[in-house]
Amino acid sequence: MTHGDFGFVQPATAETQWEQFVHHVKTRQPTFFDPEVPVFGARAPGRLDVMGGVADYSGSIVLEMPLACAAFAAWQWRQDDKFIVRSETPEMQLALPEAHFRVADFVTPDRHPRSLDEVRAVLQKNPEQRWASYVLGCFYIMLNAYTKMNQGKADERLGTVGANILISSAVPSGAGISSSAALEVATMHALSEAAGIKPSDLTLAAWCQRVENQVVGAPCGIMDQVTSALGRENTLLTMRCQPHDLMGNQPAPPGWRFIGIDSRVKHAVGGGHYTRARVGAFMGLKIIQLESGGQLLDNYLCRMSADEFKAYREIIPETLTGRQYQQEYGLLPDTVTTVDPDETYHPRACAEHPILDNERARSFIALMHLAAMHHEENHADNADAGPDEYLLSEAGALMLKSHESYSKRLNLGSPETDLLVSLAERHGKAKGLYGARITGGGSGGTVALLTRANFEPADEAILSICQAYEQETGRTPRVFIGSSPGAIQFGARVIA
C-alpha cells in the first residue's frame, strides 16, 4: 500500500497547477479559443471547514482553510452573441460537457436584464446543461449589479457579445469541500478581469453567493465563497458570518496540521437534511424574536450566547410541523428557504447547535493563539520543542463535540463519516491524531482532522484509517492535504 493509493501525496503548487491549465487552454486554440483574442483566467481553491461549518447561516464564527486543489476558468469574448461553455472536468461525467446559450437569454432587445425567473428557466430547462448555471450565473449576477449603476440597462462591457468559457476543476463535487464555490469564484474573477470590472474582494465573494442562492437555488451561507476568494495559504480564514466580518487569517500553529478525508458519500447543500436544519434554526430564531418582545438579533442566532439561550430553550418546541409553524408564528426570517407545511422540523436542537458551535469556534481560536505563544516562548530555549499536547487535545475535543452535535442536533451525520471520526479517535493522541469532525453541510462529504505535523506515526495512522474504512464500507476514501492561496491573492491573469 503506497501513500498515493488514497491521494495522500504532496500536491502540486498553485503556480504549477496554473502552468498546466495555461498549457491546457493553449492546446484548445484554434478549435475552441480564437488565438487572436485575449483569454482571461483565474484559479480558486476548495476549502476545508475546520470549525463553524453549517452554523454560518446563523452568524457563527467559522475557521476555513483553502485547500491545494482548485477550480480554473478561462473567459474569452466572442464577436457574436453566443455563449459556449465547456467543462473539461472528468469527474463531473457530464452527458453534455458543452452548453450553448445566447446573450438574448439574459438581456432583452432594449438591453435590460431579464428577470431572475426567466434566466433560471433558461439555464435549468435542460437537466444535462444545468451545471452551466454556476458559470453563466456569474455573468447574470454581474450584469444585474452593473445595470443598477447604468439606468437599468446593460453596461457596455456586458450584455452585448457572448464568450468562449472553459472550466476545469480538481475540486471533487459532492465531497463537501466547496466545489461549487471554487467554480463560481474562479469564473467570477476571470469574468471581472475580462470585463475590466473590479469589485471589492468581499463584493466578488457576495456575488458568487448570490449565484448559488438565486440562480442555482442552493441555500448556502457565504463562508465557502469568501474562503475561496480571500483565503491565504496555510492559514485559517476566520470570519464572523454577520454577514461576512473578516477577523483575519490565523496561521496554523507550528506542529498543527489540518487534513481532510473524503468519505465518498455525496454531499449536497440543496439536500433535504441541510434545508430542514437551516429552516429549523430560523424557526428557533423567529420564536426567540417573538418571545423576547423584540430581541431581533439582526436575524443572527449567534448574537446570543449559550447562557442567554437557556432562557428561551424550553420555549422552543422540540418538534414542529411546517403547518403548525405557519399558523402560530407566520413567516420565516430567512431569504433563501421556505417552510414546507408537510415537513416536521426540530427547531430547538437546530437553533441550539449554531449557538454552541459559535462558542466552540471562539474557544478554538483562543487555543490556536495560545499554541502560537507556547511555540514562540519555547522555541527560543529549545529548537526541538514540540507543540503543546494539552492545547492540541483541547482543540481536538472541540472538533469532536461539534461532530457529535451535527448528528444529534441537526441530523446531518452519516454512518460513513461517523466511522471515519471513530477510527481517528481509536488511533488517538498516541498516534498524533487529536480531533475530527464532519465538515460543511454534513450528510456525507469530508471529515476534517487535526493531526500533529511532521510526525510519521500520524501519517501511518491516516493510511491505516483509510484502509480500515475501505475494507468496512467498500468505498475508497480520498485524502486532502496541503493548502494554497485564494483567488484574490493568486490573481486573475491574461493567458497570452
Which residues are CB-neighbours of 477 under 8 A, at least 6 positions away?
6, 261, 262, 263, 264, 420, 465, 466, 469, 470
The continuous run of DSSP H or E covering 442 comes out as: none
- Using CA of residue 59, residue 61, residue 66, residue 69, what is the dihedral sign? negative
Nearest to 223 by CA among 187, 178, 190, 264: 178
SS (H, E, C) 261-302: EECCCCCCCCCHHHHHHHHHHHHHHHHHHHHCCCCCHHHCHH
Q: Greatest CA separation found in the chain?
A: 73
- Rounded Cα distance between 386 and 375, Å, is 8
* Residue 439 · residue 382 · CB < 8 Å: no
117 noted as active-site residue: no
The catalytic residue among 49, 105, 155, 224 is 224
For residue 462, what is the DSSP state? H
Three cell numbers, residue 495: 493567458
Neighbours of 422 (CB within 10 A): 13
The letter for the amino acid at 198 is K
Q: Which residues have a catalytic role annotated?
A: 224
